Structure 1
């Protein structure tokens, strides 16, 4: 029996939600005197301490499989040769950061994505690997702060010789839907063509701050993916031409994203779109 002065958090096992964070408070239900455990043992345990990253990644991967796997995909490909399985050589696929869950599910094995060196990136790393894919870690270096950007660039140049790569072209820190010059620089140094990709689920919920948000699609809804025509960047592009190249990529991304959002609203693109299975066997 519990003592008469037992409070709401003194039950054998209780879950308290404080400030949006779940806290586990385990008391002496195994016959251990709480006082003997000391102050540290009575400290609430956060979910991050109770559940290791691997377990959380498994839950996230299963959730994404249920969400994204239930979507009714429709593909529009301006040039069939830009499909990963048909491209003559490695390509650089770019998309907006908020849409990264869709390509993580549909093409994690064919394309190696760049994932930020952050806590959110740790989770996406494990999720992509659970789908059988591989990743490259790194974020933009700010001043003297090394966030793995230079190392990631070297790794992308190395892997880009034999594998397709993917980059959330607005980066993990934003501003949202604004092309950063990293993809242009990489394409110029590697010779890979840039393939702009627009992605749009019909219904979704956004999580995260502006510039780092991720859209979680609603189950069973439609999702349209538009692959634009490949864009070639001049080798060893001089700095004087960088801004013009970034602006051309921005225009291409705006165009394919606008089309994807239009198609998902009307569920029609003027011709019969491809399903995910048809696209994979293109």
Structure 2
């Protein structure tokens, strides 16, 4: 017998669980956080860029500093639950990914950023990898929204690393210290995004993200 689960009730439980877990983490921000928050107050659009594998700790930190975020969620069935959880946390979601509905989601995010003064959250190597290789969507979004890209990384001191997943998903253990590194805003080019220009911009972003807090890396990561 198939038992159906109400996405609304499930998302309520998951959101409460996520809030409780994140509340135990001891975030230690490094970088100019005040400048990032000031940009939001001044209505200068931002895109917060993170690796897919670090989505739990980075978005957890983001939740502690701002509720004015817009996040991309896939159009899959699992994405429906994830979207409801994110919305219960006070954020806005747009549905789409590089494999389905991506262009529509990007344009919707631009409208939300402008109309509601929200920062966008973008997993730049998602949803399927390759790991730590940014894709073009973040550059298109930043250029279309007139936004700067802010790289962000998290290095929880105690964490479970799921190495069998393509992204090496990082699950921080409760009550652990979690240094979070916030990079300098990267202004994207206003040139036409030809293949060569896009490759150049993605290489710039990749280098910044890989260097950000790299001294925190352990053999487990």
Tell me the TM-score normalised to structure 1 length: 0.68
> 3-state DSSP class of the match of 1:139?
coil
> 3-state DSSP class of the match of 1:107?
helix
1:86 Cα offset (Å): 4.9
Structure 1 residues 259 and 60: alpha-carbon distance in aligned structure 2, compared to 1, 3 A threshold: farther
Most deviating of 206-215 and 233-242:
206-215
- Give the one of 119, 125, 129 matched to 1:170: 125
Matches within 5 A, 1:113-192: 113-141=71-99, 147-161=100-114, 162-192=117-147
Taking the aligned partners of 1:86 and 1:124, their CA distance within structure 2 comes to 28
Taking the aligned partners of 2:76 and 2:197, their CA distance within structure 1 comes to 31
Counterpart residue number, 1:61? 15
Structure 1 residues 198 and 69: alpha-carbon distance in aligned structure 2, compared to 1, 3 A threshold: same
Counterpart residue number, 1:266? none
Does 1 or 2 have the higher relative contact order (CA < 8 Å, sep 6+)?
2
Taking the aligned partners of 2:170 and 2:16, their CA distance within structure 1 comes to 16
Q: Is the 8 A contact 1:226 1:259 kept in 2?
A: no
Taking the aligned partners of 2:156 and 2:33, their CA distance within structure 1 comes to 22
Cα shift readout 1:178-205 (whole Å, capped 9, x = no counterpart): 1111111221222100100011222222
Taking the aligned partners of 2:163 and 2:134, their CA distance within structure 1 comes to 19
Counterpart residue number, 2:28? 74
Counterpart residue number, 2:190? 235
1:69 Cα offset (Å): 1.2
Q: Is the 8 A contact 2:45 2:145 kept in 1?
A: no
Structure with greater proportional helix content: 2
Taking the aligned partners of 2:166 and 2:61, their CA distance within structure 1 comes to 23
Structure 1 residues 134 and 87: alpha-carbon distance in aligned structure 2, compared to 1, 3 A threshold: same
1:137 Cα offset (Å): 1.3
Taking the aligned partners of 2:33 and 2:92, their CA distance within structure 1 comes to 26
Larger Rg: 1
Counterpart residue number, 2:200? 244
1:158 Cα offset (Å): 1.5
> 3-state DSSP class of the match of 1:171?
coil
Tell me the TM-score normalised to structure 2 length: 0.84
1:59 Cα offset (Å): 2.3
1:218 Cα offset (Å): 0.9
Q: Is the 8 A contact 1:199 1:260 kept in 2?
A: no
Q: Is the 8 A contact 1:80 1:86 kept in 2?
A: no
Root-mean-square deviation (Å): 2.4
